[in-house]
Structure 1
């Protein structure tokens, strides 16, 4: 399965070279299962990442964005254990983690909140005006170039 080639898909597309790298990365790496997280679409251009970080304090968590990769990390501080307490079952995992998610080029992090053991990161797709759909007039550019060159000759 890791030898899958996307070359046929690229015959009718231009500028999707990164896509191939993204698929290669997805096929090679295992999806992390700790900590549990949700990726939610809350509107046409709004997204939310919710990470369950029970037992972590806010200052033990960090969010970093570099080269369109959002990295969420947690490093618990050392806790002193009471010598009089014997743990019979330890089901609360407070281990370090690093969760990396690749963002599309127009996705921007709006803000992050931490409440009740859930780290919530709000994202929004902000499409620049030059990237919005537009109608391309036929022959208009050629006419503008001709008029521009005529004005240059008169000057």
Structure 2
């Protein structure tokens, strides 16, 4: 197994200490698997996960988020009538599954619905106002704001 060294990135990136283990985990995780799924980007802050879960009812599926980890589980109880059936070929998988998705900070699940054998999970990134980019004002030695900064108009009005 090849390991990737991310230490050169951390010289200029502050607070990303969880990124290396997350990337390492994603690198090791099998890309395929059951059930198949799509991840769509609807816009800059909206995403949708669509999973093919044919044969599962709403009561057979579970969604849970904990510490930026979305876990989707499916467990189907087989009834006696299904056990009595004999199959020549059985291509529709109904085995239990657990699929995990690592969510970025401030991404939360806002809706989940089952339609025509597809589970749609809608996610939204809601960055708090305190975390959004803001302009920092620069003052000169005399205490006045420097030309071109955001409070330049306020200084002119006060003078």
1:56 is matched with which residue?
56
- Superposed structure 1 runs of 4+ greater than 6 Å apart: none
SS of corresponding position for 2:25: helix
Q: TM-score, normalised by structure 1?
A: 0.84
The reply on whether 1:138 has 2:116 as its aligned counterpart is no
Aligned with 2:18: secondary structure? helix
Scaled by the length of structure 2, the TM-score of the pair is: 0.82
Please report how far the alpha carbon of residue 125 of structure 1 lies from its aligned counterpart in structure 2 after TM superposition: 0.6
Q: Distance in 2 between matches of 1:23 and 1:42?
A: 24
Aligned mates of 1:82, 1:32 — CA distance in 2:
28
Matched-pair contact (CA < 8 Å) for 1:2–1:24: no
- CA gap 1:76/1:70 in 2 versus in 1, 3 angstroms: same
**What stretches of structure 2 of length at least 5 have no aligned partner?**
144-159
Whether 1:74 and 2:41 are equivalent positions in the alignment is no
**Cα distance, 1:4 vs. partner?**
1.3
Aligned-pair distance for 1:76? 0.4
Distance in 1 between residues matched to 2:51 and 2:83, nearest whole Å = 32
Aligned to 1:146: none
Matched, 1:91 2:91: yes
Relative contact order (C-alpha < 8 Å, sep 6+): which is higher? 1
The runs of 5 or more residues in structure 1 that have no matched partner are 144-155
Q: Secondary structure at the match of 1:109?
A: strand
